Each structure stands twice: as structure tokens, then as C-alpha cells.
Amino acid sequence: MNVPMLNLPAQHAPFQAELEAAVQAVLRGGQFILGKEVAAAEEEIAAYCGARYGIGVASGTDALVLSLRALGIGRGDEVITSTFTYVATAQAITSAGAKPVFVDIDPLTYNLDPAQVEAAITPRTAAFIPVHLFGQCADMEPLLALAQTHGLAVIEDAAQAIGARYRGRGAGTMGQTGCLSFYPTKNLGGAGDGGMILTNDPALAEKLRLLRLHGRTGDYYYELDGHNSRLDEIQAAILRVKLKRLATWTAQRQRHAALYDELLADLPEVHTPPVAPGNEHVYHLYSIRAEGRDVLREWLRERGIATAVYYPLPLHLQPIYESLGQPPGSLPVAEAVCRDIVSLPVAPELGEESIRTVAAAVREFYHRP
């Protein structure tokens, strides 16, 4: 049995006709930018996450860049974030003109370690970007308390964590803004790029709506130096159809994860991902730490089982950030995690048989039938 990381055509098959009808309705209506589909998607997705406002933008990366710009963060500012994240988190900071400051992670949740964040604060620090990696929220309470003490902004990178909860609060609703990605492989994925900014602050929501539209406040009249970054009507229509299934898919991901936890629990060579107390994990990725990771991956590949490594190199060691001066050895937890982390297939459409097949192959690799 072949097991891919995900299978989007299979995910869509049960409601393909509804998806196609939604796209056709937009095509027939002729309104392609900022029409009723985007307005409805903003309302529905914000409500799903537990935020007052949603602002649809062109990507998760843009959601981060526009959040920084709306909060007035740019040249001369430092923004603290995790070294163990997708490059977009850091590129958003440099795109806004600010400097990323990478800190180390908690070895259990792979998210920002609040003690390391505190140690990295300088008079130039303007904000933190906690990343809710793999679908589990960072430890937000100490981060929000630190931000308040020091007068700093918090922008949540919730690209991988739509619907995740931290002590009852939704991912992306705790900071000044939260940023979602609708990249096709995400838990809620479009048929192309897309993103959304969540916020509870009406003034910030208004500013973000202007910024995504060139800062336009009247007919060919501009009060803010903005940008062109909008969620398309066609993407919004697709996302609305898929949003109706998201809670069911998330529950399926959680069942798959629980099954892996159970089937791999007794392997000393494998660390399954713990969930911190008070967190609800949405398992965008099910990432284990595995002894002999690269040999294990090859063994699984030979048996038709896909895996992926998120991420093989922490950002502070990437060539583009060498000039920031955070050398090898400076953030040891993330460096160690990058050497043995591997993500196993967990997507909802794969079904429990696939999960059992993968777990059995992992057990066989370690000679534990």
C-alpha cells in the first residue's frame, strides 16, 4: 500500500461538484476581486478561529508583512522569532525592513522558548512572532506577559495552526494579529495562494484593509503607503466550501495522531510529539524525532511511504541569514531537532489503514514487530 503525505484530489472527491459549482458561480458573476465571497470567507473564517475580524490577503507571507507594516514595524526594529520555522516568517520581517532575531525552541513542543525570548529583548525589539509550528500553539501566556511588560507587539504565525486552541483561546486570536495561510497543503487549503489576517482590534482591521489595497482611502487617493495583496474571489469561494469540512478533518487528523502515539509509544528510538497541557493540537504535521532518521526515511520510501523533513536546517544557519551572526552551536536545541525530525503522513483523507501501514513499517525498521 502506497502512502503519500497527502492526496488533495481524494480529499476533494466527495464534494467535487460543490467545489466546481462554487468556482463557476464566481466565473458567471464576473466579480473577481474583493466581492461577496471574500467578505463571507473573512466573516466565517474569523468566527471559526474566534477572532472579531478577518482580512483576506494574497498569502500567509503577506499576512505577516502587512501585520508588521500596520503595526509600524520596520527599519531599525528587531523582531524576535523562532529559528525553527518556515523561511516565510523571517522573510516577512526583512521585507518589512526590520531585523529578525532568532531564538531557540522548547524541545518538546518545538515552539519559541519564552525564557530565550526574554533573554533576546533589546531596546530595539519591537515585536515577537511566535509560530504555532506543526499545529500546536506556542506557550502564549508568558510571551504575552513579556510583550506587555516591554510594550511590544505580538504577531502570531498561525499558518500551520488554524483551529488550534491554547487554554481555550484560538490560534491567531491572542496577539495584535494572527496570520493564516491557505497554501494548498495547509489544513484549510485553497487551489492556489491565499492568506488571512485575524485581529480583534477594529482600528487595526481598518488599517489592514487599506494596506492590502494600496492604502487607498478614496478614488485614486492614498493616505497610506500600501500594497496589492488580496485574497481572490475564486479562492474565497473554494475556502468556504472546504471550511464546512474543516472541523471533521481536524478530528480525523487528531485520530490519526492518537493512533500513531499508541502504535509507536513503546519504541525507545522514536519520540512522538507531546501536546502541552491546555493545548489542542490540529496536527498540520505529525512530526517525530527518530534515531537514524535518514535511513528510516529511505526504508519507508522503498516501501512506498512518503515522509518529509520540516525543517532540515534552522534559519539562523541559512546562507541568507549568515550576516546576522548567529553561528552553528548558538541555538543548540533547534540544531539537534533538525537532525532527527521527520513528518509522517497524517492527512485526513488517508484513513486509518494508511496510518497503521506507516506505523507497522516504522516498527519493522527498528525490529519491533
As a whole number of angstroms, the distance between CA 212 and CA 147 comes to: 26
By C-beta, is 195 or 345 nearer to ligand PLP? 195
Residues 6+ apart with CB under 8 A from 42: 53, 54, 55, 56, 196
The residue sitting closest to ligand PLP, measured at its beta carbon, is 60
By C-beta, is 60 or 172 nearer to ligand PLP? 60
Q: How far is the CB of 185 from ligand PLP (least distance, A)?
A: 8
Q: How far is the CB of 179 from ligand PLP (least distance, A)?
A: 7
As a whole number of angstroms, the distance between CA 137 and CA 61 comes to: 19
Q: How far is the CB of 240 from ligand PLP (least distance, A)?
A: 18
By C-beta, is 197 or 267 nearer to ligand PLP? 197
As a whole number of angstroms, the distance between CA 151 and CA 154 comes to: 10
Residues that bind ligand PLP (CB under 6 A): 59-61, 85-86, 88-89, 131, 157, 159-160, 181, 183, 193, 195
As a whole number of angstroms, the distance between CA 102 and CA 22 comes to: 42
By C-beta, is 85 or 199 nearer to ligand PLP? 85
Q: What are the backbone angles phi and psi of residue 279, rounded to the nearest 5°?
A: -100, 145
Q: What are the backbone angles phi and psi of residue 155, rounded to the nearest 5°?
A: -115, 120
As a whole number of angstroms, the distance between CA 121 and CA 144 comes to: 14
Q: Are 305 and 314 in contact (CB under 8 A)?
A: no
By C-beta, is 179 or 270 nearer to ligand PLP? 179
Q: How far is the CB of 134 from ligand PLP (least distance, A)?
A: 9
Q: Are 307 and 344 in contact (CB under 8 A)?
A: yes
State the CB neighbour count (10 A cutoff) for residue 304.
12
Q: How far is the CB of 61 from ligand PLP (least distance, A)?
A: 3
Q: How far is the CB of 67 from ligand PLP (least distance, A)?
A: 12
Q: Which three cell numbers stand for residue 157?
A: 504565525
By C-beta, is 160 or 250 nearer to ligand PLP? 160
By C-beta, is 263 or 308 nearer to ligand PLP? 308
Q: Are 79 and 101 in contact (CB under 8 A)?
A: yes
CA–CA–CA angle 253, 256, 260 (5° rounding): 135
By C-beta, is 60 or 114 nearer to ligand PLP? 60
Q: Are strands 165-166 and 153-157 parallel, antiparallel or unpaired?
A: unpaired
* Residue appearing with cell numbers 472546504: 242
DSSP label at residue 86: -
Q: How far is the CB of 205 from ligand PLP (least distance, A)?
A: 20
Q: How far is the CB of 89 from ligand PLP (least distance, A)?
A: 5
